[in-house]
Amino acid sequence: MSQIAQQIQIRNTVFKNRIIKGAMSEALANTAGEPNHLHLGLYEAWAKGGLGCAITGNVMVDYRAKNEPGVVVLETERDLAELKQWAEIGKKYGMVQLIQLSHPGRQCPKGLNRETVAPSAVAFSPMLATTFATPRELHEDEILDIIQRFATSAAICEKAGFEGVQLHGAHGYLISEFLSPLTNKRQDQWGGSIENRTRFLLEIYKAVRAATSDHFIISVKLNSADFQKGGITEQEVISVFKAIDQAGIDLIEISGGSYEAPAMAGAKSKHIKQSTIAREAYFLDFAENIRKEVNCKLMVTGGFRTVKGMNDALESGACDFIGLARPLAVETDLTDRLIAGYDVRYAVNPIKTGIPFVDKMAIMEIIWYAAQFKAIGEGKAPNPKLSPFKVFLNYAKGNIKAIIQGKVNSRKSA
């Protein structure tokens, strides 16, 4: 039997195969952050395509901290009915669903929120400073509030019927900001040593575990590296993986990078070793090393394109799950095709608008795919030849509209 077709169990949940859809931003919610029929249509398409598990795009735990327009926000049981419908789709087709809970920290476009917060008031690089403001340093009571927000959101996810959650601790969002010495300059119990910088993640895990049942899956997405000079060291990364594993985490997804060094979008591919390219997965070498250090299940996302590459990775023991993201945006039935022995049909190339400053930020790697998701949610077929330039123009118009609406709402609530 093909390795990718084999079942595997975490706690009381059986995954029917080893393919997991990695988180991708859907950008389908309204300004209030409510899920809708588009989410249901999108995830049903993936479920019908044989997917073993889907990890949702960013779901914010705080309405005041959204990373982009159109993101789902989960603070209360306001949307419990819609969330139950969403969870039921997975159960209908045997697709496990994990909600990715996130706080963006400093990675919020200017004007979207009233302010941005982070472990420390560290400015962005000059190229991104025009888009992202310097954040305000969090007070300790705010840190404790955010920890509890993750727990509250997780409990709602379980009540809705989802099998688990993923804590977003990668890509430069808030948990990742606490872990990295580049963005965490604190001198209290939340900063300094790697043990202190890991505290925020561990306290979130403990709070989520306490707020949910024993069979609820808790996963985390972690960077293998910052890919920036002066970032978290390899030894520190290993200590973070070991600490969260020893705390009881069920699954770790291995990724890397941030908005300032977007390795997760393949932007660092020219620096990837030839041996890694031959094996397809960007972070597989790291997974092999970390496999010796942890006991939890591991998932590697990024770069897989052939059935052989996926099966070889699983057979080697380096990982337990294959994470696929962008290929699923243009092939919703990809899982069934992989299990039947067919490789990924469409090559994943960098999405370029021809506008230099836009293309350098790799933002099109998010919004071009979000445009595909909207089409799929509406019951249409994805379009691999969709114009990146037109997508960016539509995104810019929507972003301006959302920011204006946000300012109007802020004045009304003031």
- Dump pLDDT digits (tens) for 9-26: 999 999 999 999 999 999
State residue 353's pLDDT score: 87
- Dump pLDDT digits (tens) for 200-253: 999 999 999 999 999 999 999 999 877 677 788 889 999 999 999 999 999 999
Q: Higher model confidence: residue 214 or residue 127?
A: 214
Long-range (24+ apart) CB contacts under 8 A made by 39-45 are: 39/72, 39/86, 39/377, 40/85, 40/86, 40/89, 40/377, 41/376, 41/377, 41/378, 41/379, 42/373, 42/376, 42/377, 43/86, 43/89, 43/90, 43/95, 43/97, 44/89, 44/93, 45/332, 45/376, 45/377
| Alpha carbon distance 138, 122 (integer Å) | 12
- Dump pLDDT digits (tens) for 299-342: 999 889 999 999 999 999 999 999 999 999 999 999 999 999 99
- For the record, the structure tokens of 278 come out as 């031959």
What letter represents residue 199's amino acid? R
Give the position of tokens 């604190």: 186
Beta bridge pairs of residue 98 = 55, 164
| Alpha carbon distance 235, 279 (integer Å) | 24
- For the record, the structure tokens of 127 come out as 């190229």
Q: Higher model confidence: residue 301 or residue 118?
A: 118
Domain ranges of the chain: 3-413
Say whether pLDDT at 90 is over 80.
Answer: yes
Q: What is the mean pLDDT of residues 68-86?
A: 97
Say whether pLDDT at 92 is over 90.
Answer: yes
What share of the chain in percent tops pLDDT 90? 73
CA-CA-CA-CA torsion for 269, 275, 279, 281, nearest 10 degrees?
-30
Q: Among 99-103, 336-340, 376-380, 407-411, where is mean pLDDT lowest?
A: 407-411
Question: What's the length of the chain?
Answer: 414
Asked whether 146 and 118 are in contact (CB, 8 A), the reply is: no
State residue 409's pLDDT score: 54
Say which residues have a Cβ less than 8 Å from residue 201's Cβ, sequence separation at least 6: 167, 169, 175, 178, 179, 220, 240, 244
Q: How confident is the model at residue 276 (pLDDT cuts 50, 70, 90)?
A: very low
State residue 267's pLDDT score: 40
Q: How confident is the model at residue 279 (pLDDT cuts 50, 70, 90)?
A: very low
Highest mean predicted confidence (pLDDT) among 73-82, 260-269, 283-292, 364-373: 73-82
Question: Where does residue 321 rank: exposed (0-12), middle (13-18), buried (19+ CB within 10 A)?
Answer: buried
Q: What is the mean pLDDT of the chain?
A: 90
- For the record, the structure tokens of 47 come out as 């479920």
| Alpha carbon distance 118, 87 (integer Å) | 32
Q: How confident is the model at residue 71 (pLDDT cuts 50, 70, 90)?
A: very high
State residue 113's pLDDT score: 96
Q: What is the mean pLDDT of residues 112-135?
A: 94
Asked whether 250 and 10 are in contact (CB, 8 A), the reply is: yes
The CATH superfamily of 3-413 is Aldolase class I (3.20.20.70)
Long-range (24+ apart) CB contacts under 8 A made by 2-9 are: 2/307, 2/311, 2/339, 2/341, 3/310, 3/311, 3/314, 3/315, 4/307, 4/310, 4/311, 4/314, 4/322, 4/338, 4/339, 5/339, 6/314, 8/297, 8/320, 8/321
Maximal CA-CA distance, the chain: 61
